[in-house]
Amino acid sequence: MNPKMAPASRGERILCSGWVSARSLVKSARMQGDTGSGAALHPFCTAPARERRGRGAAACASGCQGPGRRWFMSLRFSFWSRIGLALLLAAAGDLFLFGPFSGLASALFGFCLIVALLAARPEVLRHRPALGVLALALLLLAALVERPGALAAVLFVPAVGAAALLPRAPARLDAWRGLRAVVWRGALTPVSLGIALAQIRGRLGPGPGFGQVLGLLALPLGGGLLFLLLFSSANPLVEQALSALTPWSLLGGVTPGRLLFWGVCFLFAYGLLRPARLRWRVRQSRRPVEWPGVSTASVRLSLLLFNLLFAIENTLDLAFLWSGAALPEGVTLAAYAHRGAYPLIFTALLAGLFVLAALRPGTRTAADPLLRRLVVLWIGQNILLVASSLRRTLAYIDAYSLTELRLLALVWMALVALGLGLICFRLLAGRSGAWLINANAAAAGATVLLFLLAIDPAAVVAGWNTRHNLERTGQGVALDWDYLDQLGDAALLPLLALERSDAPDDMRRRAAALRQRLLACLERRQARPAEWSFLGARRLAEAKRLIDREGRE
C-alpha cells in the first residue's frame, strides 16, 4: 500500500464492495450468450444459452420469458408504435396540407414532425450536429409563418431528414454527402418498411389460416346481420340509414389522389422515425491522382497567362468603370455594364473550378511555393472581377431600375466572391474538400435564411423604384406602375411613402389609387386563414396606422 495514501474507512470499503456487486448483477442480467461452453444461464431461465440462441428471440424451452423475450417484445412495440405514429402524422398531413397551400398549416405540420422525431428518436437530442440542423428546420418553419413560400417548405424536408440521419452518420460528413444520403434513404423507405414487416412476420411464425378466421367470425357477423335486418324492418329510421349507406358514402371524400397523398405522408413520416439502415461508405484517405496534362510546369504557364489576361480586363474596368473615364464613341455606360456583368461571373466560377481541380491538397502542384503565390494573385484578380461585375450591375440598375432578379444577382455575385476567398483559404491552410463544401453551404444557408426571415426582396425593390425614377430624380426611367402592381402588397408601404412625398400631383394620385387596391387585396387575404401571415399582418397594421395618422393631420 502506498504510505502516502490513507487507509480506506469501513464505510468506503462497504460502498466499493456494493458497487462491484451491483455491476456484476447488471452484467449477468444483460448476458445473452455464453463464451464458448454453452452452459451459461440468464438469471430467469434454466435453459442453456445455446438453446436460447438457436431459438432466436423466442421463449426458452422451459417456457419462461427472460431478458431475450422481453427485449424482442419491446422491439416489436417500438416498431408498431412508430407505425402508428406515422399513421397519425399522415392524418395530420391530410388535415394541414391537403388543399390550398397555407404557410401556417404547413408550419404546424412541420412542428408535429419534429415533435414526433424527438419522441421516437431520443438520440437526436444527444447529438449536437443533429440539434443544430433541427434549429435550422425550426427557423424554416418560422419563415413559413412569417412569409409563406415554397422555398422554405422545400428546404425544410432535407433539413429534418438530415437531423434524423446525423446520429448514425460518420463524424466527418460534408453537406453534399449528407444531402445524397437523405435522398437515397428516403427513396428506399418503402423497401425498408417491407423488409421490416417481413422480418416481424418471420419471427412471429405462421398466422391463423383462412378457415380459422372464417370460423371465428361466422357467428358474430351472421348474428349481428340478422338482428340488424330485424331492426330495420321494425324501425323506419334504421331502414333509411341502411339504405343511405353505400360503399361510396362510407368512403366519404376519399379519392385516389387523397389516398396517394396519405401514402406519401406516411412513408415520409416512417422514414423519419425509422430511417433505412444502410452502411455508410467510409472514404479511405489516399494520395490524389495526378491528372494527365496537369503538371507543375503546365499549371505554372497557365497561371502566368491567366494572370496576364485578367490584369488586362481589370485595368479596363478600373479605367472606364471605376474612375468614370469617357468610353469610346458608340459605347454607353449602361451597355458596357450590362454586357459584361454575367459573363464575368461565369469567368470567375471557371477560375474557381480550375483552382479546385489543378491544385488539390496533397498534389505536387499544391505544394509548389511559386504556384501558391500565383494562385493567390489570380484569386485576388477574380475577386476584383466580381466587384467589377457588381459595379456593372449597379450601373445598369441606375439606368433601368431595380428588379427582384437583379437584386438576387447582386447577392449571387457576393456569394461567388466569398466562395473564391474560401478556395484561397483552403489552399493556404490545407483544409479538406469537406470543409470547403460545408463552409459554402453554411454561407448559402445563412443568406437564404436572411432573405426568408429578415429581408423582403419585393419590398426592397418597390422602395428603391419609388425613390429613384425619372419623375422624381430626373434620371433613369419612368416608374413602372405595372411592375409595382405585380409586386403585390410588398409595394403597399412604399406607395404610402410616395403619397406623402413631394412627388408630382398626378404621380401621387396614381400611387393612392394603386395603394387602395393593394390594401383591399391584403385585407381580403389576411381574412382567409389559409393565406394569413405574420408579415401581412404587420404590413396591414402599419399601413392602417399611417393612413389614420394622415387622416388626423
Q: What is the pLDDT of residues 328-339, one digit of tens each?
A: 777 776 666 666
pLDDT at 313: 85
3-state SS track over 349-362 = HHHHHHHHHHCCCC
Examine the domain organization and report whether 177 and 301 are in the same domain: no
**Coil, helix or strand at residue 394:** helix
Examine the domain organization and report whether 507 and 373 are in the same domain: no
Chosen domain end from 455, 471, 487: 455
Average pLDDT value over all residues in the chain: 76
Give the residue with greater pLDDT, 161 vs 218: 161
pLDDT in tens, 26-48: 344 444 333 333 333 333 343 44
CA distance 214 to 530: 48
Q: Kindly state the helix (H) or strand (E) to which residue 258 belongs, with its residue range.
A: helix 256-273
Amino acid at position 243, single letter: S
Q: 45, exposed or middle or buried, with CB in 10 Å at 0-12, 13-18, 19+?
A: buried
Q: Which three cell numbers stand for residue 364?
A: 505536387
| Residue 179 in domain | yes
Examine the domain organization and report whether 398 and 470 are in the same domain: no
Q: How confident is the model at residue 460 (pLDDT cuts 50, 70, 90)?
A: very high
Chosen domain end from 430, 455, 480: 455
Give the residue with greater pLDDT, 289 vs 330: 330
Q: How confident is the model at residue 6 (pLDDT cuts 50, 70, 90)?
A: very low
Examine the domain organization and report whether 520 and 449 are in the same domain: no
What is the biggest distance separating any 2 CA atoms in the chain, rounded to whole angstroms?
102
60, 70 in Cβ contact below 8 A? no
Q: What does pTM read for this prediction?
A: 0.69
Examine the domain organization and report whether 414 and 329 are in the same domain: yes
Q: How confident is the model at residue 148 (pLDDT cuts 50, 70, 90)?
A: confident
DSSP letter for each residue of 274-308: S----PPPPPPP-PPPPPTT--HHHHHHHHHHHHH
Examine the domain organization and report whether 396 and 444 are in the same domain: yes
Chosen domain end from 148, 183, 204: 204
| Residue 230 in domain | no
pLDDT in tens, 368-396: 888 888 888 988 988 998 888 888 888 88
The stretch 470-475 carries a mean pLDDT of 79
pLDDT in tens, 221-274: 777 877 777 777 777 777 777 666 655 444 556 677 788 888 889 989 988 888
Report the alpha-carbon angle 52-58-63, nearest 5.
80
Q: Of all residues in the chain, what percent carry a pLDDT higher than 90? A: 15
Which DSSP category does 207 fall into?
Answer: -
pLDDT at 328: 74
Q: How confident is the model at residue 277 (pLDDT cuts 50, 70, 90)?
A: low
Report the alpha-carbon angle 237-238-239, nearest 5.
90
Residue 197 in this model has a pLDDT that exceeds 70: yes
Examine the domain organization and report whether 155 and 200 are in the same domain: yes
Examine the domain organization and report whether 339 and 433 are in the same domain: yes
pLDDT at 547: 87
Examine the domain organization and report whether 377 and 497 are in the same domain: no
Examine the domain organization and report whether 412 and 483 are in the same domain: no
Give the residue with greater pLDDT, 363 vs 93: 93
Give the residue with greater pLDDT, 526 vs 225: 526
| Residue 167 in domain | yes
- How many residues appear in the chain? 553
Residue 517 in this model has a pLDDT that exceeds 90: yes
Examine the domain organization and report whether 502 and 360 are in the same domain: no
Examine the domain organization and report whether 371 and 449 are in the same domain: yes
104, 533 in Cβ contact below 8 A? yes
Give the residue with greater pLDDT, 472 vs 108: 108
Q: For residue 174, what are the domain limits?
A: 79-204
389, 340 in Cβ contact below 8 A? yes
Least confident among 1-5, 130-134, 235-239, 539-543: 1-5
26, 64 in Cβ contact below 8 A? no
pLDDT at 251: 53
For the ranges 73-77, 112-116, 241-245, the maximum mean pLDDT occurs at 112-116
Domain count along the chain? 3
CA distance 351 to 362: 20
Q: Of all residues in the chain, what percent carry a pLDDT higher than 70? A: 74
- What is the distance, to the nearest Å, from the Cα of residue 158 to the centroid of all Cα atoms in its chain? 4
- What is the distance, to the nearest Å, from the Cα of residue 540 to the centroid of all Cα atoms in its chain? 30
| Residue 219 in domain | no
